Amino acid sequence: MLESMLKQHFGYDTFRPGQKEIISSLLEGKDCIALLPTGMGKSLCYQLPGYLLPHPVLVISPLLSLMQDQVDQLKMRGEKRVIALNSFLSMREKQDVLSFLSHYRFIFTSPEMLMQPQVRHAIEQMTFSLIVADEAHCISQWGFDFRPDYLRIGEIQWKKPRPPVLALTATATGSVVQDIVQYLKMDAPYRFIHDVNRSNIKLAKVMFAQKEEKITWLLEHVSATAGPGIVYCSSRKKCEEISLKMLERGIVAASYHGGKDAEDRQFIQQQFLQGELEWIVATNAFGMGVHKENVRQVIHESMPANISNYMQEVGRAGRDGQQALAILLYADGDEHFAHYIATEDLPKQHHVEQFVYYIETGQQPEQMLQNAEISETGFRVLSYWLQQEPPSAVKQRLTKMMQEKDTEVGRMLALILQEHCMRERLVQYFGQNLSLQEGACCTNCGLRIKDFLLERQQGKTVNVEDWRKRLRKLLFGAP
C-alpha cells in the first residue's frame, strides 16, 4: 500500500491531489508529466519512489538555488545519501562523487553539468530507477526561462532499458507541454494537471489612471488591512522605495530582491516565516522554496509579464486553505513596462550581428558579456542557437520569440481589462473549465476587497533584543 509507505517515510497520512496517481504510474514504469504548483508536494513525487525503487533517482534541475534548496530539505529530513553534482564541487570532489555515484539515493545535477563529458560518461554507465526533469518548462523556448542546455538532455544515451522520466513543472501552456514531450523523448506520458483554480484565493483588480495613484492606494491599503502578505514589484528600486514608505508608516515590512546579499535574503525569509514581518516587498526572485502557509494577501504592484507568472505568484497565498486575497493594481500604460521587463533579457537583432562580427574577426564573443552589452540569459540563448542555425534563421527565431513574449503580455493585459469572471478566464487559459461557479469570486463578479480582509492590528514593531540577551538566546535558547 502506497499510503503505508508514505506514512513510514514521510509521516503523512494522505497524499495530496495528484501525488498518488503520479507515483503509481511511475512505479509501473510509465513516463509522466506533472503540472503541480510549487508547494503542492511536487518533490514527493520522486522522493517516495526513491525509497521504493532499487536504484538511484537522478534529478535534473536548471536552477542552482532550487537544487540546493531540495538537497537541504532532504538533508533536513535526515537523508544522507543525497548529493548535488554542481559547479561548486572542486575537481577532486567531483571525481570522488562520480566514482561513488551508485551509492547515492538522490543525485541532483544541472543540465550544464550533465553535458560535461566526464559526467555524461559516468551517467550513461549508470542504472537509474527514475529520471526527473525539474522545472521542465525551461526546456521550451517558449518558456520564460529557456535553458538551451536542457534541450541536450535528449542526446543522452541512457542505459537500456531506459527508466521512466518524470517531467515536473509548476505552470505550462499547451505548446510548452508539447516541447517537453518532444525534447525529453517521452513515451506516451501520463499527464497530471492540477486543478488550476484555487477557490480560497479571491481575485481582485484595482484600476488607476496614473501610476502614482497605485502607491498611494497601496500604502493606505496596507495601513488598514492585515497581512502577512507579499507585494510584487517589477524592479529592485521599486522594492526599496515602497518598503521604505511602508516602514515610515510604522508597518513592519522588508524588501527582498536579487540585489541583496545572501545573508539579508535569508534573514528576511526567516523573519517572514517566523511571523515577524507584516509584508515582504519583493521582485519575482522571492517565493521559490519559501513555504509559508498563512500568506493572506498577494498584491501585484506591477503587472506580471505573463499569466503563468501571475498564477504562480498568486498561488503563494492561502496555502493553508483559508481565505486569501490577490490584488492586481493596474495603471494605464503598465503593459509597456511589462513588455520591457519581458523582453529585456532577450537578445536583439544587433546582438546577432555583433556576435557574428566577433567570431569573424577572431575575437571572443564573451566580450559582449564582459562589456555588459547583453544579459547572461540572452548570451546563453544566442550562443546556443548560433551553433545550431545560420544567423538569418536565428534572427527570425528571435523575432518570433519577441512576438511570443508580446502575445503573453497582451494576454495578461486582456485578462486585466476584460469584464468576465477573472477566475473563469484564468482557468481557461490553462485549458481547464471552472467546476463550480461561486458568488463574489473576483472583482468582475462583484467582490469587494473590504469584505474579505481583517483589520490590521496596530502596534506591531520589530523587536531587536539587546546584544547580550541576543547572544544568550542564540546559544542557550529562550530564557
Partner 1 sequence: MLIDQILLQIFYKLNNERTINAAYHLLRGKRSGQTIQDVGLFKLYPYFGILRKLAKPSFDDGVSRLVDRDLLKVEESGYFTVTSAGHDELKKLEIPFYDGWHYRGNEHVFFARLSLIIQTLSYQTAGHKYFLPVQRDEQTQAWCRGFLMDTQFHRQTLQEPLYEEMLSTLENAHLSEQQRQLVLNRLSGAHVAGVAWQQMSVQWQLPELDCQLLFISALHSWLEEIRQQQPFYLSKMTGDIRVENVLTGSAYQTAQLYMQGYTLEQISHMRQLKMSTIEDHIVELAMNEPHFDIRFFVKEADELAVQEATQTYMTKKLKVLREVLPHLSYFQIRLALARGEE
Which residues contact partner 1 (rule: CB under 8 A)?
68, 72, 75-78, 88-89, 240, 243-244, 247, 254-255, 260-264, 266-268, 270-271, 274, 276, 462, 464, 466-468, 470-478
CA distance 458 to 85: 48
**Contacted entry of Zn ion, partner 1, none for residue 466, CB cut-off 5 to 8 Å set by kind:** partner 1
Considering the complex, state which of residue 86 and residue 383 has its C-beta at the smaller distance from partner 1.
86
User: Is 303 in contact with 330 (CB distance < 8 Å)?
Assistant: yes
Question: Smallest gap, in angstroms, from Cβ of residue 326 to partner 1?
Answer: 26
* The Cα angle at residue 28 between residues 23 and 29, in degrees rounded to 5: 95
Considering the complex, state which of residue 238 and residue 425 has its C-beta at the smaller distance from Zn ion.
425
Considering the complex, state which of residue 114 and residue 268 has its C-beta at the smaller distance from partner 1.
268
Scan for cell 509559508, then name that residue: 292
Considering the complex, state which of residue 94 and residue 205 has its C-beta at the smaller distance from partner 1.
94
Residue 421 within binding range of Zn ion, rule CB under 5 A: yes
**Contacted entry of partner 1, Zn ion, none for residue 263, CB cut-off 5 to 8 Å set by kind:** partner 1
DSSP line for 179-229? HHHHHTT--S-EEEE-----TTEEEEEEEESSHHHHHHHHHHHHHHB---E
Could you tell me how many residues of this chain bind Zn ion (CB under 5 A)?
5
Question: Smallest gap, in angstroms, from Cβ of residue 237 to partner 1?
Answer: 12
Nine-digit cell string for 367: 566580450
**Contacted entry of partner 1, Zn ion, none for residue 472, CB cut-off 5 to 8 Å set by kind:** partner 1
The helix/strand/coil state of 327 is strand
Number of neighbouring beta carbons within 10 Å of residue 4: 8
Considering the complex, state which of residue 448 and residue 470 has its C-beta at the smaller distance from partner 1.
470
Considering the complex, state which of residue 113 and residue 180 has its C-beta at the smaller distance from partner 1.
113
Considering the complex, state which of residue 76 and residue 436 has its C-beta at the smaller distance from partner 1.
76
Site for Zn ion, residues 438 to 477, rule: CB under 5 A: 441-442, 445
From the list 384, 295, 382, 395, the residue with the least C-alpha distance to 345 is: 382
Burial of 411 (0-12, 13-18, 19+ CB in 10 A): middle
Question: Smallest gap, in angstroms, from Cβ of residue 442 to Zn ion?
Answer: 3
**Contacted entry of Zn ion, partner 1, none for residue 216, CB cut-off 5 to 8 Å set by kind:** none
Question: Smallest gap, in angstroms, from Cβ of residue 212 to partner 1?
Answer: 23
Give the phi and the psi of residue 262 in degrees, each rounded to 5. -60, -35
Angle between helices 376-388 and 349-360 (to 10 degrees): 70
Q: Where along the sequence are the contacts to Zn ion (CB under 5 A)? A: 421, 423, 441-442, 445
